[in-house]
Structure 1
Amino acid sequence: MDQLNPIEKRAALALALVFSTRMLGLFMLLPVFALYGTELVGYSPLWIGLAIGAYGLTQAILQIPFGWLSDRIGRHKVMLLGLALFAAGSIVAALAESVYMVTFGRILQGAGAIAGAVLALAADLTRDEQRPKVMAIIGASIGLSFALAMIAGPLLAKWAGLSGVFWFTAVLACCAMLIVAFLVPKSVSKAPAAETLAVPATLLNILQHRQLLQLDIGVLLLHLMLTAMFVALPLLLSQYQLAADQHWQVYLPVLLMSFVLMIPMMIIAMRRQQEKGYFLVAISLLIIAMLLAFVATDLWWLIAALLLFFTGFNFLEASLPAMVSRVAPAGQRGSAMGIYSSSQFFGAFAGGVIGGVVAQQFSYGLVFAVLAGIGLIWLLIARTMLVPARAQRLSLAVQVGTEQEANALASQLAALSGVQEVTILLAEQRCYLKVSSQQFDLAQARSLVGIAQP
């Protein structure tokens, strides 16, 4: 956190807490619901899958609208509204006696789609050059919350039952609301909107962008595989005489070791500029892991499968958003990330449905075989992926009155050494640049723009 000022440090830690407490509540259900959901009225493998993935549907639908709303009524208000919906959904699920009401509670949980507002506020409160650090801190908190959920979920469910997990989730949501109200700094300025939030006019353009579409499909399939796997995995672990409250003894070492294996992959991929090759290797690990889980004959084979899966999963989870940010056209990163997030949550919903259908119509074991096939489809799609050169993103205020003036200025900026893309938005009176940091001269660009920059 070197070079972050006090406001940026406070924003990074407070927003990371908000994000992680909310995600902890969502993740804690994954390792326990397939086991404890059997006690609910209306139980079936299909409804277990629907309940696990249901939050993803409303998250996907409301992710972009909540971001837009935060631009109009304020980030804090939207965050508090979203967390209140999340708490209400948790309480509904905690009081439910049927799998149908639990599913409704999960849908209500997902309606609190505050990810866009949180990240937009993080952008508002940070300087351009420090923003990646703050985003990285928030991203790391999500990974930590997933690891903690794999441990806490089974232990809490054993002690307090499934309703206890949902009550704890409601408490976490209330704690997050207090953090928003008293710890998260108030925004006194807004970051350039197009780089932090989706812009309606650019959504169709983003959906037609081949490279971004490949990445959106990728994150959809990645979270589909994760969610569907947890429809079957807890029951499979129980078949190997592992009590529900002991499942964390598998998850904890597997997750820790997967991080240990993933980090060298990331370092080597970046240093040797072999990101696509390692990206394909990571997808291959998912496929091999699912095949191993399908044919596993003892617990150790299943543990090996999980280690391979989470090594690949962690690598891809870290790589995909970074690639989206690099591929997104200048001035359209907010739209690109909005569609990416929605794709991620649609994947979670689809994973619950597919896992539930396969488990109900065939068997829990076959879920892994189907996921291996889905992974193979992703591998074929990813083979044609192009990895763009690394670029720095900048935004400069401009004063242009007409489209002709904007085009003329854009042409001049595009001619500068190191400039990869230029976008000028008249409505924002702002210019967005993608540049090579080694060749680009910021002073030249500011001279052309002719405005003193903050």
Structure 2
Amino acid sequence: MSNNGLSKTEKKVAFSLAGVFGLRMMGLFMIMPVFALYGQDLEGFSPLWVGIAIGAYGLTQAALQIPMGILSDKFGRKPIILIGLVLFAIGSLVAANADTIYGVVAGRAIQGMGAIAAAVLALAADLTRDEQRTKVMAIIGMCIGFSFALSLLVGPIVAQYLGLSGLFAMTACLAVLGMFIVQFMVPTPVTHAPKGDTVATPTKLKAMITDPQLFRLDAGIFILHLVLTAVFVALPLDLVDAGLVKEKHWMLYFPAFIGAFFLMVPLMIIGVKKKNTKATFQVSLLIMMLALASMALFADNLVVLSIAVVLFFTGFNYLEASLPSLIAKFCPVGDKGSAMGVYSTSQFLGAFSGGLLGGGAYQLVGAAGVFGVALCLMTIWLLLTLGMKNPVLLKSYTLEATVEGKEQAKAMATELSLLPGVAEAIVVLEERVAYLKVDEHFDLREARAVLGSVS
């Protein structure tokens, strides 16, 4: 089997798990562009409760993301993923049958209880070789981005013809389809990937939270998803006021998201070529800030709003794609699972806070106020990035290590750290694994020779 590309099994794993992740994220995202418009007949409707309904899933996701990952390590990935999808389907049906906004909030909270992201990514790691794992994760990441774009197209169309109840019923069907894929298409792993790569370790969470560079990224994803959720409380109502009927919103969202994707690509290329991720990161923040300022100042101008939506998604797409890879670059070797656990929790807390803040701000000061508050938060994030370091372009490897005691593990780690191209090395006795961060001068064969020779 060649190490140069994905094997047949790894391709199956990548696309099946990407499909599961994508179906679930579509179910969560489809409500965002339509709920403020189509939920107005629900008892108890108000902008504040619209925001809470849109963001409610984030609170339960944040609370259960790390525990569900740990449970998947104990009871198996697939059973926990299936339980999560069942909960998601139940929440969808609760929301579909609700005639009050409070019922929808309850349904969305139950949807969020199916917090399977950590378990899905851990399963992907279990079923792939270390050399190919990054490619598999990239495929899953691209699918999440595509599912968000597709939800902006499908959500308004489904709501137009089937209403909110039909939209929630469709999300339940997507969850069932996800269960089918997990049960019959995803291979069952024989072994687990090392915990440090995949699942959060509770004892290490404090260190991840207090790390200055990781904190900037965690705060960033919190603000990014807070702003995204808050904007989608106000933007649909603003577009209607500007003259775009709700049935045609998809005609703006979907092309804008696709256009923004192509505008994002030059930012990524420039960042890599100039080896200045920090500057490109800050440019993306400024693009989003320009979009929010335009939304606040030209709320009744549909042309300006449309341009602002494209700019908003350009910045959002770049930041959403960049943040996970920056977490991997800045986190201590062997602690990626814990770092990503804190990151994911911050992301979902941001979604909940954005719904709460967006709904409350809209009720008090209108759409312009929502965009103004979002702009202030993005300014805070920009200031936080001033102390951000430019990440060194390193690759991560996780290699099996046959070690019998602490002294042997220390000797292995010492030899590995002396190899050309190795920036950081740690050998974990309990996991029988070596974690490495390396540059372009690293030779994998030399590392394997060390792991096989130290006694």
TM score, norm. by length of structure 1: 0.97
Q: 2:284 is aligned with what amino acid?
A: A
Query: What do the CA deviations read for 1:51-73 (whole angstroms, capped 9, x no partner)?
Result: 10000011111111111111111
Q: Counterpart of 2:274 in structure 1: which amino acid?
A: R
| 1:337-389 deviation per Cα after TM superposition (whole angstroms, max 9, x unaligned) | 11111111111011001101111122122100111111100000011111221
Mean alpha-carbon deviation: is it higher for 94-103 or for 236-245?
236-245
- Relative distance call for 1:173 and 1:451 in structure 2 (3 A) is farther
1:318 corresponding residue in structure 2: 321
Match of residue 429, structure 2, among 426, 432, 435:
426
2:389 is matched by which residue type in structure 1?
A: L
Q: Give the letter aligned to residue 80 of structure 2.
A: V
**Equivalent of residue 398 in structure 2, options 395, 398, 403:** 395
1:33 is displaced (CA, Å) by: 0.4
Shift of 1:240: 1.9
Question: Which of residues 381, 385, 398 in structure 2 aligns to 1:382?
Answer: 385
Deviations 1:79-129 (A, max 9, x none): 110000000000000000111110010000000000111111111111111
- Kept in 1: contact 2:276–2:390 (CA 8 A): no
Residue of structure 2 equivalent to 1:299: 302
Matched-pair contact (CA < 8 Å) for 1:397–1:451: no
Question: What SS does the corresponding residue of 2:427 show, helix, strand or coil?
Answer: strand
Write the deviation string for residues 122-174 of structure 1: whole angstroms up to 9, x where unpaired. Answer: 11111111111111111111111111111111111111111111011111111
Tell me which stretches of 4 or more aligned residues in structure 1 moved more than 4 Å.
none
One-letter amino acid of the counterpart of residue 295, structure 1: L
Q: CA deviation at 1:2?
A: 7.7
Amino acid across the alignment from 1:104: A
1:323–1:387: 8 Å Cα contact kept in structure 2?
A: no
Please say if residues 53 and 104 of structure 2, whose CA atoms lie closer than 8 Å, have aligned partners that are also in contact. Answer: yes
Q: Distance in 1 between matches of 2:408 and 2:10?
A: 36
Q: Is the CA contact 2:277–2:391 (under 8 Å) kept in the aligned structure 1?
A: no
Q: Write the letter of the residue equivalent to 2:304.
A: W
Work out whether residues 224 and 350 of structure 1, in 8 Å CA contact, stay in contact via their aligned partners in 2: yes
1:25 to partner: Cα distance: 0.8
SS at match of 1:257: helix
Deviations 1:177-234 (A, max 9, x none): 1111111111122212211111222212211211111111111111111000000011
How many Å separate the matches in 2 of 1:171 and 1:71?
27
Between the aligned partners of 1:152 and 1:444, the Cα distance in structure 2 is 51
Structure 1 vs Structure 2 CA RMSD? 1.5
3-state DSSP of counterpart to 1:129: helix
5+ residue gaps, structure 1:
none
1:83-232 aligned within 5 A: 83-232=85-234
Alignment equivalent of 1:417, drawn from 399, 417, 420: 420
CA distance in 2: counterparts of 1:137 and 1:443, whole angstroms: 27
Unaligned 5+ residue runs, structure 2?
A: none
- Which has the larger displacement, 193-202 or 346-355? 193-202
- What CA distance in whole angstroms lies between the structure 1 residues aligned with 2:160 and 2:361? 27
Provide the rounded CA distance (Å) in 2 between the counterparts of 1:272 and 1:446.
33
**Equivalent residues of 1:289, 1:309 under 8 A apart:** yes
Range with bigger deviation, 366-375 or 403-412: 403-412
Kept in 2, the 8 Å contact 1:18–1:180? The answer is yes
In structure 2, the partner of 1:277 is 279
- Distance in 2, matches of 1:21 and 1:206, equals 30
The percent of aligned pairs where both chains have the same amino acid is 50
In structure 2, how many angstroms separate the alpha carbons of the residues matched to 1:114 and 1:441? 35
**Partners of 2:7 and 2:219 in 1: how far apart?**
37
Corresponding letter in the other structure for 1:354: L
Aligned length: 451
